[in-house]
Structure 1
Amino acid sequence: MSAALSVLNRTFGYPQFRGPQQAIVEHVIAGGDALVLMPTGGGKSLCYQIPAIVRQQQGQGLAIVVSPLIALMHDQVGALHEAGVEAAFLNSTLDWQQTQEVEQRLRTGAITLLYAAPERVNTPRFLALLDALYQQGGLGLFAIDEAHCVSQWGHDFRPEYRALSVLHERYPAVPRIALTATADALTRADIIERLQLQEARLFVSSFDRPNIRYTIAEKGKDVTGQLLRFIKEEHAGDAGVVYCQSRKRVEELATVLANAGIAALPYHAGLPAELRQAHQNRFLREDGIVMVATIAFGMGIDKPDVRFVGHVDMPKNIEGYYQETGRAGRDGLAAHAWMAYGLSDVVNQRRMIDESPAADEFKQALRGKLEALLALAEATDCRRVRLLAYFDEASTPCGNCDNCLHPPEVWDATDCARKLLSTIYRIQQASGLNFGTQHTLDVLRGKSTDKIVQHGHDKLSTFGMGPEFSELQLRAVLRQLLATGAVGLHKVQLDNGHSFDTLCLTDASRAVLRGEQPVRLRASVAAPAGPRERRQRRPAASLPPVAEGLDQAALARFINLKAWRAEVAREHGLPAYVIFHDATLAAIAQQQPHTLADLQGISGMGAKKLQAYGAEVLRVCS
């Protein structure tokens, strides 16, 4: 048995590697650099934890893990301690004495993995510590987690990550492994360049998460109502995350959900740190909590039983969407990704891009990413095929997204698009001014509002040209035109300091006006929140899906094991899944063990956990 497989079996309790894990682990143990692209829930952490353990056993020193979040450091170090691995972190939660104690343990070789944020890694004090370790041969590996943060093209760019190139320049003999769950070709190239990984071996796993069902709905007038129906009809009592763009919206929506009987909590950077931590702890350690959050929440959250992720606002790009939806169903069981989007989302995103002080090249890349996301939202074919194609992965229709389950009708919106563009042009030509969305739609549909009459827009040749189109249809077409750049935004500043966006033509308008650029859209608007074929509801206090196949006696053991695990987790100050995953408890309950030997070989039952908890598990099961 190889050293890597032995660590996987004895330390972590897993019988075999998954997918490319073994190839990655053996490459890094041998001293090779690696860039690993693996979906959330694919087992990325083992790809550096096992090499760290093996390389230290071989006398090659400890591993430094660059991690962006304190919560992630805490949980991963706690999980390693449970598995019997010496790990520690250096971050702002430690006082000076605790920091010195960790540094002393580093110098004596008592730590296998040390977690630190990029900001700390780049400090002179920390680099001096690494210098000393390197000179003594005590540095065995650098692991750079969430490596997409290094790229300006990524969705979570953090400038501190760029300085990590110093690791290769200063410690060239130490292998590096960079890992991320999301990176398109542009982001991958940037990661390789910024971290100087030109000689690294690239490992790209499938981005497919077949257990996740993708549903994307057009926003109706009451998106909160759409979300409520989705949660109550599809995921009552389930743990979930709902993403919003603004802090204000987070708090409003969390209140609405709570008033509707859903255990919902808000999370955003504007809340006091103590409250954010308390809410995160509840989400991680209690069942059935729904976290309503900005994208500040989620990176590094390892909770395996999140059954759904919702978006009431459209993300900025597909990488962000994929990363956020990937937080559902990490346990491999059925999960759901639901998103509602509307014209206002596209307008807001385009405005943020256009008003950015970034270079034109960067803005153009961001517009392309927004256009790709809107194409996914407007798609009439398989969502999964489109999503995977963005990451250069070919696939076939999944049969498990809203479009596969309920194929939408399609209509040719080219004529409608041309009429919209003509209306924008005629309004500007007649007034010398640009006007906003509602005014433009009213002109096209022939509504004689006071504003239209005041400006004489009821005399335009395009007035009343499109009465056959509903406002929802027109907004869908305008959404597409904005995303593709065929319609631009022009900001008008008012004397009172407020401003608003108006519509204008662009160079890209010509192809649509001439009929050279067809526009085809899904016919359905304000689609229902979720698939019409709904899964059978489970009551709020129901068991996780992994236990649904257990017989009555095994079910009783499972319930008792969960109660025991909750007590242990509280004592250790850790999420329950760090002690044992639900799948491990279900396997124990099914096995009905009578001896410690009966527990050996159960997935997730490593040697340290067998020693620490074996007798108690047998007692609970008796």
Structure 2
Amino acid sequence: MSSSSSRAEQILHSVFGYPAFRGEQQAIVEHVAGGGDALVLMPTGGGKSLCYQIPALLRDGCAVVVSPLIALMQDQVDALRQLGVEAAFLNSSLDALEQREVEKRFARGELKLLYVAPERLLTERCLDLIERTPVALFAIDEAHCVSQWGHDFRREYRELTLLHERFPQIPRIALTATADAPTRREIVERLALESAHQFVASFDRPNIRYRVVEKDDARRQLKDFLAAHRGESGIVYCLSRRKVEDTAEWLAGEGFDALPYHAGMEAVLRARNQQRFLREDGLVMVATIAFGMGIDKPDVRFVAHLDLPKSMEGYYQETGRAGRDGLPSDAWLCYGLGDVVTLAQFIAQSEAGEERKRVERRKLDELLGYAETTACRRQRLLAYFGETLAEPCGNCDNCLDPPETWDATVTAQKALSCVYRTGQRYGVAHLTAVLRGETDERIQSLGHHQLSTFGIGADLDKQQWRGVFRQLVATGLLTPDEEGYGTLRLTQASRAVLRGEQAVHLRRQADRAGRRAKRQTARGERARAVLDIAPHEAPRWDALRELRARLAKEQGVPAYVIFHDATLLAMLRERPQTLSALGAISGVGERKLERYGESFLAELTS
């Protein structure tokens, strides 16, 4: 074993309290510590931060970490200080006096890691300070922000190639959890990382259970889902600010500790809500996608989407905020045809160029394919990022409860023919009424009761027709209009179906009685006791969490900064009786053992 490997492992054990590196962590650490550039693609919860934090402790000087969010910087610095590592951040949360003090500590060589926002880093004041100070490395976190095709584009990230131009001798490591092949190529090009070694870990998050449900009374469906997660931290994503506020208010009225978060809120309230979510257990954050990037909370047990995300990257990034500690977690998506229509209209009505619109439509189509697949969802998700999962995962809804499919060729022909004969000018509600032979004033005034498709679909109810139309859109046989009226039009692909040249197989819709039975079962499961804590273990588990919460409150830091749930769970199961045994548990480390060992040991041995 080389001396650098030995030192890296020693730091991993003594400082961070982990028994061994995971995956390619060690190779990345040794490469960067040796002065090499790196592009690291690793899933959320995969341990990306260690890939630059340990090289920072191995190399001379201070590591400068480019981070896009104030909350993320604060969390990272709090966690490092708990471990005895000298770290600080420079951002707008500090007043002028505090900023000067951080700059002085940096210049005196008293820091090992300094977190900086890209906007501040690019100022001449900051660049001059870096030129006068020994720097160990540059770490560019959330590197996908550089891509104009990405879901979190930040213009300032495009200018970070300046680091390579101005400081070519300082190694750089760019890290992200979400980047498809085009985004990856753009990161390399924009950050001048052509010569960097690329480390691509598996994107698989096996602890996350993926589930997609058809939208049918979304609030009731969300309440049923959350009933199995009471007392647990989680995020509910909504598409609009108004829906965020309405949903948070409704959930609070239903007895959930829920808070709203979106970019239109007053900054002070938004920051307060985010701080509460990070520092309290069991809080539900209802948010737009403005919330989440870089959120370091490891014990988020669920992520629920009440609306369809905009892309597979966005979906993966957002669901990836669940279960960062590796413990069982849920990703739940509730969507309907209305979501597809809304997002298609957003794309059509945006001011982006045609090339950008084509890319966004392709990304939406990929996500629709994922939502409607009858195969393993994890295989479909990983395939999008160029990764093959040899066997079905066994931990998604399609694996656990395989959907029934049926030959819907004739039904599809009826639907497509009805769209054509009504002039491709109407939405699902009107088309369904025509197919089911319902007579009302509008249908008669339009003469649609005289069409050959009138009444030919009376064998299906409204809910079933809604599912058929949704799946026909998802499979590309119909497309929503781009003017905002929710009408459906035929596509080029629909011709083969109408001519009888192509068969159509769709997922069978569960009847209402079946859906009610499934809801009752879900209510009774109680989160499958997500952490698998037996009734006789519950009092000690609660006591450990209460001790952690008290220590965290005394220091003004999030509870997980003291110990992750995974570390508490290991304590609960292994029941160490000595400080030495407690120190051997993953996530403890020398500094935390020194600070908290006696308190937790007393709780464990009482």
Provide TM-score, normalisation by structure 2.
0.92
Q: Among residues 569, 584, 591, which one is paired with 1:608 in the alignment? A: 591
> Does the 8 Å CA contact 1:550/1:590 hold for their aligned counterparts?
no
Q: Which amino acid aligns with 1:6?
A: Q
Q: CA deviation at 1:528?
A: 4.3
Q: Which amino acid aligns with 2:25?
A: Q
Q: CA deviation at 1:409?
A: 1.0
Q: How does 1:3-14 map to 2 (within 5 A)?
A: 3-14=7-18
Gaps (5+ residues) in structure 1? Answer: 493-498
Identical-pair percentage: 58
Instruction: Tell me the distance in 2 between the aligned counterparts of 1:369 and 1:463.
Output: 36
> Does the 8 Å CA contact 2:89/2:114 hold for their aligned counterparts?
yes
Q: Among residues 332, 344, 348, which one is paired with 1:350 in the alignment? A: 344
Q: CA deviation at 1:144?
A: 1.2
Instruction: Tell me the distance in 2 between the aligned counterparts of 1:515 and 1:195.
Output: 51
Q: How does 1:211-610 map to 2 (within 5 A)?
A: 211-220=207-216, 222-232=217-227, 234-395=228-389, 396-428=391-423, 434-483=425-474, 485-490=476-481, 500-525=485-510, 528=515, 534=522, 545=531, 548=533, 558-588=541-571, 596-610=579-593
> Does the 8 Å CA contact 2:467/2:509 hold for their aligned counterparts?
no
What secondary structure, in the 3-state scheme, does the structure 1 residue paired with 2:111 have? coil
> Does the 8 Å CA contact 2:426/2:487 hold for their aligned counterparts?
yes
What secondary structure, in the 3-state scheme, does the structure 2 residue paired with 1:172 have? coil
Counterpart position of 1:189: 185
Q: CA deviation at 1:602?
A: 2.4
What are the Cα deviations for residues 41-78 of structure 1, in whole angstroms up to 9, with x where unaligned?
111111111111111xxx2x221111111111101000
Instruction: Tell me the distance in 2 between the aligned counterparts of 1:544 and 1:491.
Output: 43
What secondary structure, in the 3-state scheme, does the structure 2 residue paired with 1:500 have? coil
Instruction: Tell me the distance in 2 between the aligned counterparts of 1:341 and 1:591.
Output: 42
Counterpart position of 1:496: none
Instruction: Tell me the distance in 1 between the aligned counterparts of 2:494 and 2:525.
Output: 48
Q: Among residues 183, 187, 204, which one is paired with 2:200 in the alignment? A: 204
Q: Is the alpha carbon distance of 1:444 and 1:586 closer, same or farther for their aligned partners in structure 2, counting shifts above 3 Å?
A: closer
What secondary structure, in the 3-state scheme, does the structure 1 residue paired with 2:295 have? coil
Q: CA deviation at 1:243?
A: 0.9
What secondary structure, in the 3-state scheme, does the structure 2 residue paired with 1:469 have? coil
Q: Is the alpha carbon distance of 1:397 and 1:531 closer, same or farther for their aligned partners in structure 2, counting shifts above 3 Å?
A: farther
> Does the 8 Å CA contact 1:350/1:482 hold for their aligned counterparts?
no
What are the Cα deviations for residues 486-545 of structure 1, in whole angstroms up to 9, with x where unaligned?
4344456xxxxxx63433334444344334454322102578497886597569xx9982
Instruction: Tell me the distance in 1 between the aligned counterparts of 2:473 and 2:574.
Output: 58
Q: Is the alpha carbon distance of 1:538 and 1:416 closer, same or farther for their aligned partners in structure 2, counting shifts above 3 Å?
A: closer
Instruction: Tell me the distance in 1 between the aligned counterparts of 2:54 and 2:524.
Output: 40
Q: CA deviation at 1:571?
A: 2.0
Counterpart position of 1:146: 142
Counterpart position of 1:495: none
Gaps (5+ residues) in structure 2? Answer: none
Q: CA RMSD in A?
A: 2.6
Q: Does 1:164 align with 2:164?
A: no
> Does the 8 Å CA contact 1:370/1:483 hold for their aligned counterparts?
no
Q: Which amino acid aligns with 1:76?
A: Q
> Does the 8 Å CA contact 2:327/2:566 hold for their aligned counterparts?
no
Instruction: Tell me the distance in 2 between the aligned counterparts of 1:490 and 1:592.
Output: 61
Counterpart position of 1:19: 23
Q: Is the alpha carbon distance of 1:537 and 1:476 closer, same or farther for their aligned partners in structure 2, counting shifts above 3 Å?
A: closer
Q: Is the alpha carbon distance of 1:411 and 1:74 closer, same or farther for their aligned partners in structure 2, counting shifts above 3 Å?
A: same
What secondary structure, in the 3-state scheme, does the structure 2 residue paired with 1:89 have? strand
How many equivalent pairs are there?
Answer: 597
> Does the 8 Å CA contact 2:224/2:519 hold for their aligned counterparts?
no
Q: Which amino acid aligns with 2:345?
A: R
What are the Cα deviations for residues 67-120 of structure 1, in whole angstroms up to 9, with x where unaligned?
111111101000001111111111110111111111111211111111112222
Provide TM-score, normalisation by structure 1.
0.89
Instruction: Tell me the distance in 2 between the aligned counterparts of 1:65 and 1:518.
Output: 54
Counterpart position of 2:95: 95
> Does the 8 Å CA contact 1:416/1:474 hold for their aligned counterparts?
no
Counterpart position of 1:76: 76
Moved more, 530-539 or 347-356: 530-539
Moved more, 188-197 or 599-608: 599-608
